[in-house]
Amino acid sequence: MQCLFCKQDSSDSRSFEHVIPESLGNRKYTLPPGVVCDKCNNYFSRKVEKPFLESAAILQLRFHQEIPSKRGNIPSIHGIFAPNFPAIIHRDPNKYFIGIAQVEPESLKQIVRLPKGMLIFPPGPPPSNLILSRFLAKVALEAMALSLIAFPEGLKYLVNEIQLDPIRNHARRGETPDWPIHIRRIYDAGQKWIDEKGNEVQMVHEFDILWTDWDEWFLVLAIFGLELVINYGGPEIDGYEHWLSKNNYVSPLYCGKNIAISPTMADNS
């Protein structure tokens, strides 16, 4: 067996690869040992997923939506107790806010007396294009491998398909500094859905592969309603924008046009 990314022999690899990181709530979509070798698995965890997960905007999303890390901890974020007391905000198991102020003890006494509702969360900047595009490139190839997991010849094709080398090398080595992606919100982060059992849930993440009429392939990933799209074929996104204009700007996740993987892969919470 060869690794999907470095193409080296991966027969002795032991680690499962999460297509979506565990720290985004994924316990379901994993690749068995050897599809991604141990070395690449470890590299992606440290150099691709960690910068994405620890960017300010994603930390805030994980905090507000109460998404624990794989160790079970909800990340802390920076906030402000009005009018101007900087603090690090934690969530405890009972969902209460605990502010550890980065101020003098005398100021801390004032914070205790502030009325409820005076906690402010300045919006954090999103991940850089390089961080985000490398993360999406990694997810894109692994999503394709996941759809072919029962077909060894299909996995072998993914490893050896030279047209996938640019996105493969971008994920593994960041070789294309400016790989454009398409970002838009398709539903509110707090959107509630009713599942097949009648329970109210939130959609944590969902993804699919769009194959257009002009033979372009795109990964479409939504995280709490934020749709992120990358082109498998190279660093351009015009084809996706063209597809949207022809399909009334409905997400491929919901319009029934996505035929590469069916049904849409999604996790609820």
Task: Delimit the domains of the chain by residue range.
Answer: 57-120, 127-268
pLDDT of residue 101: 47
What would the pLDDT profile of 84-103 be if each residue is shown by its tens digit? Answer: 767 777 776 555 555 554 44
User: Please, which residues have CB within 8 angstroms of residue 264's CB and are 6 or more apart in sequence?
Assistant: 206, 207, 208, 253, 254, 258
Which residue positions in the chain have pLDDT lower than 50? 101-105, 108-115, 257-264
pLDDT of residue 62: 86
Round to whole Å and give the CA distance between 92 and 103.
Answer: 21
Residue 83: cis peptide before it, omega within 30 degrees of 0: yes
Q: How many CB atoms lie within 10 A of CB 32?
A: 12
pLDDT of residue 264: 43
Q: Could you tell me if 5 and 31 are in contact, meaning their C-beta atoms sit under 8 angstroms apart? A: no
Q: Name the pTM for this structure.
A: 0.85
pLDDT of residue 63: 82
Phi, psi of 123 (to 5 degrees): -60, 135
pLDDT of residue 70: 74
Round to whole Å and give the CA distance between 90 and 78.
Answer: 9
* Residues linked to residue 208 through DSSP beta bridges, in sequence order: 220
* Residues linked to residue 81 through DSSP beta bridges, in sequence order: 85, 119
pLDDT of residue 258: 45
pLDDT of residue 178: 93
